[in-house]
Amino acid sequence: MDEWDEYFFEIAKAVSTKSKCLKRQYGAVIVNQDRILVATGYNGTPFGVNDCVVCRRADCEPGEGYNLCRSLHAEENAVIFAGIEKARNGIMYLYGELNEPCIACKRRILNVGILKFLGYDGENVIIFNPREWIEEL
């Protein structure tokens, strides 16, 4: 991991602390042209919706029960706040316990044209070319 990756992962880690999710905290950062911070996002309920008091997915395995959850994922929020024009050809950094996006977030990342995805769980970095996800869809 180079120093710019470390820098953006530190920002994503700081963003994750804003999450009020009872199960996991995630932070996402979208950058473009290697230096410009485009948008951040963390997992949490939509604007105007109260934070969860009890997790509806508490007993679900990772990757299951998304239909029960009231929150948006960090990747979703970052994409929403960035918009297509700013996110296109960008790089997304995700910090959190599981460092690969769910299938729904993969579709959103592909749709806005993110070129590179890096996930970090505090120990391991994974790097994806989102175009490789097309076969999964």
Active site residue ranges? 75
Q: H or E element: which one contains 125?
A: strand 125-128
Query: Would you give the distance in Å from CA 110 to the centre of its chain?
Result: 13
Q: How far apart are CA 13 and CA 18, in angstroms?
A: 10
The backbone region for 47, taken as left when phi is positive above 0, alpha when psi lies in -120 to 50, beta otherwise, is beta
| Number of neighbours of residue 102 by Cβ within 10 angstroms | 16
In 3D space, the residue among 72, 82, 71 whose CA is nearest the CA of residue 29 turns out to be 82
Return the DSSP state at 52. P
